[in-house]
Structure 1
Amino acid sequence: MKRIYLESFLGLIILFVASLIGYEVIVYQLNTDYDYLLEEHEAQAFHEFIYPIYQEKGEDYTIKQLEKLATSSHMLLVAQEMTHLPPEVRVVFDESPALNTAFDEDRNLWFRFEPNSPIFKLSENPNSPIIQAIHFDDNVVWVFFLAGFAIYCVLLIWFLSRRIRTLEKVTIDFASGNFEARAETTSAKAVGSLNRRFNEMAEKVSRLITSNRMLTNAVAHELRTPIFRLQWQADLLADTSLSKEQNKYVTSIVEDIDEMENMVDELLYYAKMEQPDAEIQSSQISINSFIQSLLPRWQRETPITISLLESEISDTTTLVDQKLLQRALDNLLRNAMRYAQRDITLKIRAQCECLCIDVHDDGCGIDETDWPHLFDAFYSAHKSRNKNSSGFGLGLAIVKQIVELQNGSVSVAHSHLGGARFTICLPKIDSSLSS
């Protein structure tokens, strides 16, 4: 909003200055300047008024009267030599002997009684309090202009921001998963046609996402029955007398069916976590003790050494859903098991107001170009992590959903072991509050 305010304020000033310049060019330069023309007529009338006095009373008397007039009018009357005249005044008097009045660039009046008489300058007295007050008032007008522009911009931005904040709130609700959120389209709340266009977009996006979710859930659920039948038939087939080569094929079929079942389970779990009203049952746990309890189970799944480094912080208490956190850690550990060579290391550390869990592996690592998309559903890093070992592309997406449901974050970086480092950060609970 600050930027919009500054742009509006500068825009008004530029428009005002451009209007003044346009007025100056059109009225005074492209057409006759009637103000100057009137001043020249007044100057000529002034000379015609004083010239008879000059002829009748003489030069000294006329000068004294002019000095009185100048004093009363808060003007200055100064006699000047011909050599000290401004160029534009000298040109007038040299080239037009019949003219006895002229103006300089500052519109000060220069006059003489006749061609051979002294030349006088009649100008405002800068030391006069009245003249100073007039100039001050003229300058204050510009201050009022600027203040008026500033107040107008404040009111305009305030008026717009009220409506924009309402639309912004609806946008945030929609982005958070509330696909029923819609912007008000009444004239008192709408920002032009933007609210109506947003609602049209939200309606289309909502229908698309809802239909895709329904299709995914329906397909995943419907796949369970044929997969179960295939498993049952494959198990029956495996119990019959088969040749060695036939057994190999049956074993491969069973493995493929198990993989399909796991993929369906992942799809259903991902769909469940994608719901905005996913249930969270949070409780206070010690992350250190929680991970220690999971280490034996993880170690049974792989010959790779899995270790938890000793934490440098004494209090590792946080508020989380244990089942969801376990699922997130399971996904990260099994992801590391696919690519690690010898070691997987976990570390708990503090970062600002968060507790962070680092999962390091000594595998081939992940190219930085894949990092922004690594937690997207069905995305698989295509360079260092091939299709045969990359899973279904849902594991890390589920980790992100679980962590964000608990007001945390997950990220990826290079590991000091040479592979990848995945980090889960969760809000830390103060030990004084947990007692």
Structure 2
Amino acid sequence: MNRLFLRFSILVMLSISVATIAVYVVIRSFFGDPLEEVAQQQAAGQVFLLTQYVDQAGPDEWLVRLNKIREITHSKLELISLQSALLQVAAEKKAQFMRGDVVIDIAGKSFYRRVDLHGQRYIGSDEEVLHAQELPIDVIPVIRTEVLRYIIVAFCLLIPIAIWSSAHWRGLQALEKVADEFGEGHLKIRAQTRESDSIHPLAQRMNQMAARIEGLLDAQKNLLHSVSHELRTPIARLEFGLELLRNAASDPKLETRAAAMEADLLELNALVTELLSLSKLDQQPALKLSEFVVADCLRACLDGLQHELSGFKLDTLFLDEVGCMTGDQRLLARAVSNLLRNAGKYASGHIALTLTKNDDGDIIIMLDDDGPGIPAQEREQIFNAFYRLDRSRDRATGGFGLGLAITHKAIQAHGGRISVEDSPMGGARFVVCLPATPEAVAGTT
């Protein structure tokens, strides 16, 4: 049963229940209790004998005829005092009772009626009440009939609703699947619906939105990739001309200027390399999957950055129980190295790298530093390309705001996630959570 139909069913049943109660209350307010009318019809025989036979007798015959009725009827007829009857009659019916009318007690299957209002039947008859019990009153079949009637009405409403909602539900599930696949990066996916489907206009708008997003992303990727490649040629020419200039120059000032130009070229070359790496990750790269020891991968990252991290106190804790994982070792090493470089830029003097497993069997890599930390409002944005906490963008701090973006995409390509927290050391803590075996990797080789 789909959730749409379930919700409609609950809504219909609640509506019918409220309508039933409302109808009963309105009818009771304007015309009296319909159940009491049914009870009066069921007790009509005993009431008829009382009014048309017993009450027609003279003053000396009233009790005689009442005793004859007691002998032939299955009901129990007894005389009780007026005060006792007033205690048993419902408050809203006491006025009717005092007027001498028959008052039905549905729950007790009985009725009450005063013998006489003026004491004309016999002495003291105005202070006595006839209480008829064990009457053939049974409103349960009537209630069951009404309930069955409303159930039939409910089913007659729910059957077409079920047919209608089933088609809607299948269409919504198809759109949900398309949205999930599109969110996972399959930008070519589109919703397929017929023009007669009720959700066809929604699917068309969704397809238009997807096509627009795909076009924008493709244009961005193509521009990034083209610019990166086009920059390679002038950079190569500048490097060649700079080398010629250095060989021909003898002026120390010119050599200093050439060295500065060379540093600018190296920085520009590094930027192009980072842009190309980011562009490849945006295009859903084919991961070169292999099984490797995670701790060995982290040690290799530390060895490769030994010079950059030489001035820091470096603590490591690699648990042996982590063991191996399946993934792209080169890409994962690139992500961890970017995190270590980032820690090296901002840490005051202490860095800690930890490798553990959580209760679900996921691999957890934590990197702590004692730097200034990252403000909570910027922890999501630091993984965007070209976003930097340090807005100066000078060479002293280094970087282009691409390292964490590349790390984020590399972790996502492995089906993992990365987050930022406050570190016990006072700075930032980067937490990487990786499945031991990637669950969804597009285009693996």
Task: Give the alignment's TM-score, normalised by structure 2.
Answer: 0.75
Aligned match of 1:111: 113
Could you say if the C-alpha distance between residues 82 and 341 of structure 1 is closer, same or farther in structure 2, counting changes exceeding 3 Å? closer
Aligned match of 2:11: 11
Aligned match of 1:62: 65
Over residues 99-155 of structure 1, what are the superposed CA-to-partner deviations in whole Å (9 max), with x where a residue is unaligned?
Answer: x42436869643356533443244665xx8x94964884797599689969x97996
Aligned match of 1:168: 176
Aligned match of 1:404: 412
Could you say if the C-alpha distance between residues 92 and 375 of structure 1 is closer, same or farther in structure 2, counting changes exceeding 3 Å? same
Q: Secondary structure at the match of 2:113?
A: strand
Aligned length: 414
Question: Is 2:377 the partner of 1:369?
Answer: yes
Q: Secondary structure at the match of 2:318?
A: coil
Residue pair 2:343, 2:369 contacting (<8 A) in 1 also? yes
The aligned amino acid for 2:130 is F
- Give the whole-Å Cα distance in 1 for the aligned partners of 2:154 and 2:398: 64
The aligned amino acid for 1:58 is E
The aligned amino acid for 2:281 is M
Q: Secondary structure at the match of 2:383?
A: coil
Which range moves more in the overlay, 217-226 or 114-123?
114-123
Could you say if the C-alpha distance between residues 133 and 27 of structure 1 is closer, same or farther in structure 2, counting changes exceeding 3 Å? closer
The aligned amino acid for 1:176 is E
What's the offset of the Cα at 1:281? 1.1
Alignment match of 2:357 (pick from 329, 350, 358): 350
Could you say if the C-alpha distance between residues 68 and 274 of structure 1 is closer, same or farther in structure 2, counting changes exceeding 3 Å? farther
Q: Secondary structure at the match of 2:348?
A: coil
Residue pair 1:51, 1:113 contacting (<8 A) in 2 also? no
> Equivalent pairs: percent with the same residue?
25
Residue pair 1:361, 1:419 contacting (<8 A) in 2 also? yes
What's the offset of the Cα at 1:332? 1.6
| RMSD across aligned positions (CA) | 4.3
Aligned match of 1:202: 210
The aligned amino acid for 1:15 is S
- Give the whole-Å Cα distance in 2 for the aligned partners of 1:111 and 1:414: 84
Alignment match of 1:281 (pick from 262, 281, 288): 288
Gaps of 5+ in 1: 430-435
After superposition, residues 43-82 of structure 1 pair within 5 angstroms as 48-51=51-54, 53-55=56-58, 58-67=61-70, 71=74, 77-82=77-82
Residue pair 1:295, 1:307 contacting (<8 A) in 2 also? no
Over residues 237-284 of structure 1, what are the superposed CA-to-partner deviations in whole Å (9 max), with x where a residue is unaligned?
Answer: 4444375555444433332332222222212211111123x1111112
After superposition, residues 61-140 of structure 1 pair within 5 angstroms as 61-67=64-70, 71=74, 77-83=77-83, 84-85=85-86, 86=89, 90-92=94-96, 94=98, 96=99, 100-103=100-103, 109-112=111-114, 114-115=116-117, 116=119, 117=121, 118-122=128-132, 125=135, 131=138, 134=141, 137=144
Could you say if the C-alpha distance between residues 405 and 146 of structure 1 is closer, same or farther in structure 2, counting changes exceeding 3 Å? farther
Residue pair 2:76, 2:134 contacting (<8 A) in 1 also? yes
What's the offset of the Cα at 1:366? 1.9
Q: Secondary structure at the match of 1:299?
A: coil
Could you say if the C-alpha distance between residues 171 and 124 of structure 1 is closer, same or farther in structure 2, counting changes exceeding 3 Å? farther
The aligned amino acid for 1:261 is N
Could you say if the C-alpha distance between residues 131 and 340 of structure 1 is closer, same or farther in structure 2, counting changes exceeding 3 Å? same
Alignment match of 1:296 (pick from 291, 303, 308): 303
- Give the whole-Å Cα distance in 2 for the aligned partners of 1:51 and 1:188: 75
Aligned match of 1:313: 320
What's the offset of the Cα at 1:175? 0.3
What's the offset of the Cα at 1:300? 2.8
Question: Is 2:329 the partner of 1:322?
Answer: yes
- Give the whole-Å Cα distance in 2 for the aligned partners of 1:285 and 1:162: 43
The aligned amino acid for 2:209 is M
Aligned match of 1:433: none
Could you say if the C-alpha distance between residues 345 and 242 of structure 1 is closer, same or farther in structure 2, counting changes exceeding 3 Å? farther
What's the offset of the Cα at 1:177? 0.7
Over residues 45-104 of structure 1, what are the superposed CA-to-partner deviations in whole Å (9 max), with x where a residue is unaligned?
Answer: 666523565349922343245446752xxx55443322233355553465x5xxx42436
Alignment match of 1:335 (pick from 342, 345, 348): 342
- Give the whole-Å Cα distance in 1 for the aligned partners of 2:143 and 2:15: 25
What's the offset of the Cα at 1:216? 2.2
Gaps of 5+ in 2: 122-127, 438-445
Residue pair 2:366, 2:431 contacting (<8 A) in 1 also? yes
Could you say if the C-alpha distance between residues 237 and 343 of structure 1 is closer, same or farther in structure 2, counting changes exceeding 3 Å? farther
